Chains A and B, each alone.
Chain A
Amino acid sequence: MASEKVVVAPLAIKMVLHNDLALRLRMHFKNKLSNFSIHDNSNFATDIRRLAAGHVGGQVFAAYVLCTAQDKDAVRLTLEQIDVIRRMCTENPEMELVTTAEGMRNSTKIACLISIEGGHSIDSSLPALRMFYQLGVRSMALTHNCNTPWAESSASLYPNYQRKNNSLTDFGKAVVNEMNRLGMLVDLSHSSWETARSVLKHSTAPVLFSHSSAYAICNNVRNIPDDLLLLLKENGGLIMVNFYSSFVACSHNANVSIVADHFDHIKRVIGAESIGIGADYDGAQGFPKGLEDVSKYPALIEELISRNWTEEELAGVLRLNFLRVFQKVEKVRE
């Protein structure tokens, strides 16, 4: 396997998306960073030792607050999560907070990008959205598992704001417009398919699914059906494949091979340039055998190489596709 090592080395700096470590920090440590060792922490799937072992060069950290805070203190909680991510990324010499594609590209450390996971965080306020942008937030998922007053979730766990039709209201379109204007990535993971469809038609910038997989392989509503993939292709956007076992295998038993099946399928439908990695570590329990934490990414790369993915395609999946999309989103701002 010596040849594989040679191939992996130039791809050593990786782009990974979507990490919910910040949520764990709140749940387990009340955001007290002093009680938490980011270097080596076996309780979580992420720490610097393992990010380095996995050759992770960039990480988007989600400032996430639970849906039960909607219409309560979601805004304050979001600010606190943004604060904890910012502190984590500025207090550690191996990490660096970035806010641009160029910053991400040029960083020689683990580059942190802040995202928000759920429109309930903005409390239906465009000024709040703008202030989050000013705080460094560069991506927002329009919904989490709850509807907002202006967009629909793929989950029906919560009774609020349920509707028939109107999955993206006029205000929802205004949110997307403002995100386009600011240069903030629109993330459609967790949104309903109808909301995703509306956004794909309305957005002037490429959008992304930060942690969703292929519905054709596993028919979970968090995954994306082929027709939406095709709309995504037209939009120039990106789908970052989620590794969570229930989404890749529709069961608790998954392995590297089934994850690779998702990559193969999406490549067949819309091309490797539309794909990225959105593992969702620390956002859930239950990851495939061989891909249990952030240090295990190379296993996936090896599998894709064995399925004849080219170096160029892999470089795209790992990093370049995301940077390209991020850059386009910045251009729309100008």
Chain B
Amino acid sequence: SASAPPLRLSSSPELNCARDTHNDLPWQMRSLFNNQLNMVDLNKLNTTHTNIPKIKEGRLSAQFWAAYVPCDTQYKDAVRQTLEQIDVIHRMCHEYPEVFKFAASSQDILDAFEQNKTASLIGVEGGHSIDSSLGTLRTMYQLGVRYLTITHSCNTPWADNWLVDTGSEPEMHGGLSEFGKQVIWEMNRIGMLIDLSHVSEKVMNQVLDISKAPIIFSHSSAYSVCNHKRNVPDDVLMRVKEKRGIVMVNFYNDYVTCSPTANISDVADHFDHIKKVAGSSIIGFGGDYDGVTRVPEGLGDVSKYPDLVAELLRRKWSEDEIRDALGRNLLRVFSEVEEVRDHLNGTKPDDIPIPLKEVQNPCRTDFGYQDKSSSTCIKSFYPLVLVLSLLNKLL
């Protein structure tokens, strides 16, 4: 790039330590190695945006790793595959304990920082991963998952995704269904961060209406700067501010400049815009490294965060504002979500299942539902299934 060489601020360590909320390295582990971690050395891997030397150079102090499975697993084996992605993240932390420290709380993030390690958290990217099951949501929380992206790029039986806003997919729920609201409230109750990247605009607004805790956009940028439907419009930015949430800027060129090319300055434009509209308290880094193919010149991999910080400093961001964006905002949101959880402690888990008719598909059995009158081919099998199941237990 033609601008002056970036300023490295080694004098203030906190000014260089980024906390990023979306990295798809686990998906690369699956695509490239089928999750066989003993076939890869993260110290030497050089075909991805992320590896250990680059993490160190980029001073990445916390990272939400995405446990992502594609939308075509919906109504098939999404749950199992998601468990496998959660597992690979845990194993990655075990394999490289000097580098990664598994984290599941705001305090854990601070502890990892003290130990000079990268706090490693898990975000499940897509509501299809929970297969319309609050029990599954709860057990994933138990496994350390701390955010759920409400949809990926497909509708779930209870929420619409961003493609609905482009007209390329039919709207199914007008935002969230009744069960979708149950999901939001249960997430508030257990302390799971709600991630609105990938959802439709109606879902954004409805969640902002009903959530009892602040929300996040783990990897979305500003719609006013690049009018891509994966980005966040100004009115929503202001609502996020009211709700004390955060929008973590995505570096994917197509979302930064609405074109296949971009540079650091273009990314900084998003930071500037969001700050102008809603203040620096709602901004952060959600690079989407290893989840996308085209990243900006000057931000080619995870070692480059300090260069972006330098650009912001050049644009007269104060140190305070930069600290907010680098990580204080995330910590604030995370703590507040934990507080809401603690406040709701003692309320009962939601165990009302999704209505059967909203979720019928050939891969789904319907054990436990008493009223099967709305099911079609399953209905005639029910007496047979019951008899078989009793026979089962008798043998």
A76-B79, A79-B139, A222-B395 given; A87·B365 CB < 8 A: no
A32-B352, A145-B392 given; A83·B131 CB < 8 A: no
> B133 is contacted by which of A80, A128, A144 (Cβ under 8 Å)?
A80
When chains A and B are docked, how far (Å) is the Cα of A135 from the Cα of B142? 7
26 of the cross-chain contacts (CB-CB < 8 Å) are A20-B393, A27-B367, A27-B368, A27-B389, A30-B370, A31-B353, A66-B365, A67-B392, A69-B365, A69-B367, A73-B79, A76-B79, A76-B131, A77-B367, A84-B135, A84-B351, A123-B77, A125-B83, A127-B87, A130-B87, A130-B90, A135-B143, A155-B392, A283-B393, A284-B393, A285-B393
Q: Taking the complex as formed, is B80 at the interface, i.e. its CB lies under 8 A from any CB of chain A?
A: yes
Closest to B81 in A: A125
Smallest CB–CB gap between B154 and chain A, Å? 17
CB pair B391–A131 under 8 Å, yes or no, is no
Closest to B394 in A: A284
Q: Taking the complex as formed, is A2 at the interface, i.e. its CB lies under 8 A from any CB of chain B?
A: no
Q: Taking the complex as formed, is B234 at the interface, i.e. its CB lies under 8 A from any CB of chain A?
A: no
Q: Taking the complex as formed, is B84 at the interface, i.e. its CB lies under 8 A from any CB of chain A?
A: yes
Closest to B389 in A: A66
Q: Taking the complex as formed, is A143 at the interface, i.e. its CB lies under 8 A from any CB of chain B?
A: no
Q: Mark A268-301, 1 if CB is under 8 A from B, else 0.
A: 0000000000000001111000000000000000
Residues of A within 8 A of B390 (CB): 285
Smallest CB–CB gap between B373 and chain A, Å? 15
CB pair B79–A79 under 8 Å, yes or no, is yes
Smallest CB–CB gap between A145 and chain B, Å? 5
> A125 is contacted by which of B84, B139, B370 (Cβ under 8 Å)?
B84
> B392 is contacted by which of A82, A127, A128, A157 (Cβ under 8 Å)?
A157
Smallest CB–CB gap between B389 and chain A, Å? 5
Q: Taking the complex as formed, is A41 at the interface, i.e. its CB lies under 8 A from any CB of chain B?
A: no
Smallest CB–CB gap between A122 and chain B, Å? 8
Closest to A156 in B: B395
When chains A and B are docked, how far (Å) is the Cα of A67 from the Cα of B394? 14
Q: Taking the complex as formed, is B277 at the interface, i.e. its CB lies under 8 A from any CB of chain A?
A: no
> A80 is contacted by which of B83, B135, B393, B394 (Cβ under 8 Å)?
B135
Q: A131-B86, A284-B393 are in contact. List 14 more A-B contacts (CB 8 A).
A: A20-B393, A31-B368, A32-B351, A32-B352, A68-B385, A69-B365, A73-B79, A80-B133, A82-B139, A83-B349, A131-B83, A145-B392, A155-B395, A157-B395
Q: Taking the complex as formed, is B88 at the interface, i.e. its CB lies under 8 A from any CB of chain A?
A: yes
Residues of A within 8 A of B136 (CB): 76, 79-80, 83
List the 3 closest pairs (A to B, CB-CB), nearest first. A80-B135, A127-B87, A83-B135
B residues engaging A (CB < 8 A)? Answer: 35, 77, 79-80, 83-84, 86-88, 90, 131, 133, 135-136, 138-139, 142-143, 348-349, 351-353, 363-365, 367-370, 385, 388-395
CB pair A123–B80 under 8 Å, yes or no, is yes
Q: Taking the complex as formed, is A92 at the interface, i.e. its CB lies under 8 A from any CB of chain B?
A: no
A73-B131, A76-B79, A131-B83 given; A33·B395 CB < 8 A: no
A30-B370, A87-B349 given; A79·B135 CB < 8 A: yes
CB pair B351–A33 under 8 Å, yes or no, is yes
Interface residues of A in 44-87 (CB under 8 A from B): 65-69, 72-73, 75-77, 79-84, 86-87
Closest to A286 in B: B394
Residues of A within 8 A of B370 (CB): 30
Q: Taking the complex as formed, is A324 at the interface, i.e. its CB lies under 8 A from any CB of chain B?
A: no
A34-B351, A73-B79, A80-B135 given; A127·B35 CB < 8 A: yes
Smallest CB–CB gap between B62 and chain A, Å? 22
Smallest CB–CB gap between A81 and chain B, Å? 8
CB pair B138–A83 under 8 Å, yes or no, is yes
Smallest CB–CB gap between B318 and chain A, Å? 43
A80-B133, A127-B83 given; A246·B139 CB < 8 A: no
Smallest CB–CB gap between A313 and chain B, Å? 31
When chains A and B are docked, how far (Å) is the Cα of A80 from the Cα of B353? 11
Q: Taking the complex as formed, is A134 at the interface, i.e. its CB lies under 8 A from any CB of chain B?
A: yes
Residues of A within 8 A of B138 (CB): 83
When chains A and B are docked, how far (Å) is the Cα of A144 from the Cα of B390? 13
CB pair B388–A68 under 8 Å, yes or no, is yes
Total interface residues on A, using CB and 8 Å? Answer: 46
When chains A and B are docked, how far (Å) is the Cα of A256 from the Cα of B323? 72
Closest to B86 in A: A131
Q: Taking the complex as formed, is A328 at the interface, i.e. its CB lies under 8 A from any CB of chain B?
A: no
Which of A33, A83, A91 has the most chain B CB within a 10 Å cutoff? A83
Q: Taking the complex as formed, is A26 at the interface, i.e. its CB lies under 8 A from any CB of chain B?
A: yes
CB pair B369–A30 under 8 Å, yes or no, is yes
Closest to A27 in B: B368
Closest to A25 in B: B368
Residues of A within 8 A of B80 (CB): 75, 123, 125, 128
When chains A and B are docked, how far (Å) is the Cα of A123 from the Cα of B84? 11
> A77 is contacted by which of B365, B388, B391, B394 (Cβ under 8 Å)?
B365
Smallest CB–CB gap between B252 and chain A, Å? 28
Interface residues of A in 158-208 (CB under 8 A from B): none
When chains A and B are docked, how far (Å) is the Cα of A76 from the Cα of B393? 21
When chains A and B are docked, how far (Å) is the Cα of A83 from the Cα of B351? 10
Residues of A within 8 A of B363 (CB): 72-73
> A66 is contacted by which of B79, B348, B392 (Cβ under 8 Å)?
B392
Which of A29, A75, A157 has the most chain B CB within a 10 Å cutoff? A75
Residues of B within 8 A of A155 (CB): 392, 395
CB pair B143–A134 under 8 Å, yes or no, is yes
When chains A and B are docked, how far (Å) is the Cα of A105 from the Cα of B370? 39
Residues of B within 8 A of A73 (CB): 79, 131, 363-365
Residues of A within 8 A of B368 (CB): 26-27, 29-31
A157-B388, A283-B393 given; A72·B365 CB < 8 A: yes
Residues of B within 8 A of A83 (CB): 135-136, 138-139, 349
Which of A128, A131, A144, A286 has the most chain B CB within a 10 Å cutoff? A131
Residues of A within 8 A of B388 (CB): 68, 157
Residues of B within 8 A of A20 (CB): 393
A34-B348, A284-B393 given; A65·B83 CB < 8 A: no
Residues of A within 8 A of B88 (CB): 127
Residues of B within 8 A of A134 (CB): 90, 142-143
Residues of B within 8 A of A72 (CB): 363-365
Smallest CB–CB gap between B140 and chain A, Å? 8
CB pair A26–B79 under 8 Å, yes or no, is no
Smallest CB–CB gap between A72 and chain B, Å? 5
> A128 is contacted by which of B84, B391, B395 (Cβ under 8 Å)?
B84
A67-B392, A222-B395 given; A76·B385 CB < 8 A: no
